[in-house]
């Protein structure tokens, strides 16, 4: 009897699916729901999916609908989803002093989306230490404001929940129904939230490269510029793309919303800048909102589609096609236009395989957006702006909505559930899931055909 072999690429989507199923069952327990509230199967499934996929779209208010136990389950699902089911399972194996087989290491390697043949376990442990340090520090910073505002127990719980949710780019909170709108004039809370979001979206590889670079630079008495030049080409590209996209988004939102009475029209100049910056940050898959999203201008929504689609950076908690992927696709087009034979970034050549992968990720993601948007529009009574905003937000695991999510019917919610799941595991991963694990080389050498493009 032939044994069914499942590749690591196929195990990863299944692991997230199992986490969603377990989360759904736990949220269906009577004591997961607050007194006077009722939780149906679709509501539990939607909430478990948005938590594991660290999206943040919700059909019920997290702070009011769920009991403390239900909120705790949601927080654990967010943490597991943000770090990755396989990574969390591997960490438990390490704590239990279990040995890793070659297959387990390969699975962990694919789960983290890194190419490490040595030091993988050390890298994983370092990730978890860094994550809990950032989340713990974030919780303490929130507690300074939340405890005096809400009291000790509610303030402490809100601080922990907010810190984990912000770092994992989930965008969920337990302080109220209006996300960060209540705090839109609080520089302290806005900057704490933005800092945690950006740290989660930069990617762990960049973290450690910067930390190691600073340590090495101090020993060798390097200047800040020398430390920067000694970073890897990946880190340089991520930092460049992150700063450029945040600056671009801030400028566009600032001018597009400057006189908009539904968002920032009544704010002073500093608050307009602060909230424009926050909106630019939250577009990068964070999901928190400091202004009503249904009041945004069409220009802001259009820029939002692009920023949400790109998302954060590789090997982090953010979603989207990733900054490096978007850059490579754009660079490939420019290289062809200007007649460059190779794609060079910071004096390093990008492999053809990497360029093909980037193109495939963008193409499949774009197709997924088109299909899901058409399906959502078919429900009727939904504008193109709202539908596209909802779908891009779901597929890029952003969590921003123009008020559409709670008003979706059952089929509409299922469409968004599928979109969130696809966005978390990646549409390209789903395509590979149904294909064979190994790519077979062509046995026949074909002659070159003549085709016309453009």
pLDDT tens-digit series, residues 377-404: 998 889 999 999 999 999 999 999 999 9
Q: How far apart are CA 11 and CA 432, in angstroms?
A: 11
pLDDT at 451: 72
What's the pLDDT band for 429 if we cut at 50, 70, 90?
Answer: low
Backbone angles phi, psi at 182, to 5 degrees: -65, -25
Look up residue 172 and give its DSSP letter.
Answer: -
Q: Is residue 385 part of a domain?
A: yes
Q: How many CB atoms lie within 10 A of CB 22?
A: 15
Nearest to 212 by CA among 185, 236, 230: 230
Q: Are the C-beta atoms of residues 23 and 73 closer than 8 Å to each other?
A: yes
Q: Are the C-beta atoms of residues 166 and 200 closer than 8 Å to each other?
A: yes
Long-range contacts of 407-412, Cβ-Cβ distance < 8 Å, separation of 24 or more: 408/59, 408/379, 409/379, 410/42, 411/379, 412/376, 412/379, 412/382
Output the six-digit token pair for 88. Answer: 């969390």
148 pLDDT more than 50: yes
The length of the chain in residues reads 454
Q: How many CB atoms lie within 10 A of CB 113?
A: 16
Q: Is residue 145 part of a domain?
A: no
Calculated CA dihedral for residues 125, 27, 393, 280, nearest 10 degrees? -60
- Phi/psi-derived region of residue 350, left when phi > 0, alpha when psi is between -120 and 50, beta in every other case: beta
Backbone angles phi, psi at 180, to 5 degrees: -95, 10
Q: How far apart are CA 96 and CA 114, in angstroms?
A: 24
Q: How far apart are CA 306 and CA 369, in angstroms?
A: 12
Q: Is residue 240 part of a domain?
A: yes
Q: What is this structure's pTM? A: 0.90
Output the six-digit token pair for 67. Answer: 């009991």
Q: How far apart are CA 332 and CA 349, in angstroms?
A: 12
pLDDT at 443: 62
Q: How far apart are CA 427 and CA 429, in angstroms?
A: 5
Half-sphere CA count of 75, side-chain side, radius 13 A: 20
Q: How far apart are CA 38 and CA 348, in angstroms?
A: 57
What's the pLDDT band for 436 if we cut at 50, 70, 90?
Answer: very low
Lowest mean pLDDT among 311-320, 380-389, 422-431: 422-431
Q: Is residue 408 part of a domain?
A: yes
Nearest to 399 by CA among 34, 111, 81, 143: 81
3-state secondary structure 349-361: ECCHHHHHHHHHH
Q: What is the pLDDT of residues 214-253, one digit of tens each?
A: 998 988 888 888 888 889 999 999 999 999 999 999 999 9
Q: How far apart are CA 22 and CA 408, in angstroms?
A: 24
Output the six-digit token pair for 422. Answer: 């696809």
- Mean residue pLDDT of the chain comes to 88
Q: Name which residue leads in pLDDT, 14 or 435.
A: 14
C-alpha distance across the termini of the chain, in Å:
52
Residue 357, judged by CB atoms within 10 A of its CB (0-12, 13-18, 19+), counts as: middle
pLDDT at 245: 95
Cα angle: 172, vertex 139, 186; to 5 degrees: 75
Q: Name which residue leads in pLDDT, 77 or 97.
A: 77
Q: Over pLDDT 90: what percentage of the chain?
A: 60
pLDDT at 319: 86
pLDDT at 327: 94
Output the six-digit token pair for 330. Answer: 């754009």
Lowest mean pLDDT among 166-180, 325-339, 435-449: 435-449
Q: Over pLDDT 70: what percentage of the chain?
A: 90
pLDDT at 441: 54
Look up residue 223 and give its DSSP letter.
Answer: -
Structural domains of the chain, count: 1
For the chain, give percent helix, strand, coil, nearest 5: 65, 0, 35
Output the six-digit token pair for 158. Answer: 């809100």
pLDDT at 1: 43
| Domain range for 263 | 203-430
pLDDT at 428: 58
pLDDT at 6: 58
Q: Is residue 241 part of a domain?
A: yes
What's the pLDDT band for 53 if we cut at 50, 70, 90?
Answer: very high
59 pLDDT more than 90: yes
Q: Which residues of 219-251 are buried (b: 16+ CB within 10 A; e: fewer)?
A: eeebeeeebeebbbebbbbbbebbeebbeebbe
What's the pLDDT band for 430 if we cut at 50, 70, 90?
Answer: low
Q: Is residue 375 part of a domain?
A: yes
Q: Are the C-beta atoms of residues 393 and 404 closer than 8 Å to each other?
A: no
Q: What is the pLDDT of residues 243-254, one digit of tens each?
A: 999 999 999 999
Q: Is residue 402 part of a domain?
A: yes
Its sign, for the CA torsion 315, 318, 321, 324, is negative
Q: Is residue 135 part of a domain?
A: no
């Amino acid at each position: 009897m032939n044994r069914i072999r499942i590749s690591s690429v196929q195990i990863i989507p299944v692991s997230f699916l199992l986490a969603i199923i377990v989360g759904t069952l736990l949220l269906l327990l009577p004591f997961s729901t607050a007194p006077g509230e009722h939780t149906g199967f679709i509501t539990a499934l939607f909430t478990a999916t948005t938590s594991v996929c660290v999206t943040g779209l919700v059909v019920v208010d997290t702070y009011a609908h769920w009991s403390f136990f239900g909120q705790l389950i949601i927080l654990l699902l967010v943490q597991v989803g943000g770090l990755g089911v396989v990574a969390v399972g591997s960490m438990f194996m390490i704590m239990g002093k279990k040995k890793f087989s070659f297959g387990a290491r390969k699975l962990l390697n694919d789960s983290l989306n890194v190419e490490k043949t040595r030091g993988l376990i050390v890298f994983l442990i370092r990730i978890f230490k860094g994550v809990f340090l950032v989340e713990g520090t974030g919780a303490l910073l929130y507690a300074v404001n939340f405890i005096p505002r809400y009291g000790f127990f509610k303030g402490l719980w809100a601080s922990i929940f907010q810190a984990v949710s912000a770092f994992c780019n989930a965008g969920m909170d337990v302080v109220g129904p209006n996300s960060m709108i209540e705090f839109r004039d609080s520089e302290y809370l806005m900057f704490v939230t933005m800092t945690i979001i950006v740290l989660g979206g930069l990617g762990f590889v960049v973290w450690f490269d910067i930390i190691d670079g600073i340590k090495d630079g101090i020993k060798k008495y390097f200047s800040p510029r020398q430390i920067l030049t000694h970073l890897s080409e990946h880190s340089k590209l991520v930092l460049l793309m992150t700063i450029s996209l945040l600056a671009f988004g801030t400028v566009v939102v600032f001018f597009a919303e400057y006189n908009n009475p539904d968002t920032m029209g009544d704010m002073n100049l500093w608050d307009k800048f602060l909230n424009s910056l926050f909106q630019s940050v939250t577009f990068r898959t964070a999901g928190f909102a400091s202004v009503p999203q249904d009041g945004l201008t069409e220009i802001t929504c259009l820029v939002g589609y692009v920023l949400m689609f790109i998302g954060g950076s590789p090997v982090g908690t953010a979603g989207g096609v990733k900054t490096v992927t978007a850059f490579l696709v754009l660079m490939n087009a420019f290289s062809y236009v200007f007649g460059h034979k190779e794609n060079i970034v910071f004096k390093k050549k990008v492999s053809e395989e990497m360029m093909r992968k980037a193109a495939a990720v963008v193409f499949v993601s774009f197709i997924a957006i088109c299909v899901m948007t058409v399906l959502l529009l078919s429900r009727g009574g939904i504008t193109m702006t709202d539908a596209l905003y909802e779908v891009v937000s779901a597929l890029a695991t952003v969590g921003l909505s123009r008020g559409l999510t709670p008003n979706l019917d059952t089929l509409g919610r299922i469409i968004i559930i599928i979109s969130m799941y696809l966005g978390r595991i990646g549409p390209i991963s789903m395509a590979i899931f149904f294909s064979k694990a190994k790519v077979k080389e062509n046995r026949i050498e074909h002659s070159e055909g003549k085709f016309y493009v453009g």
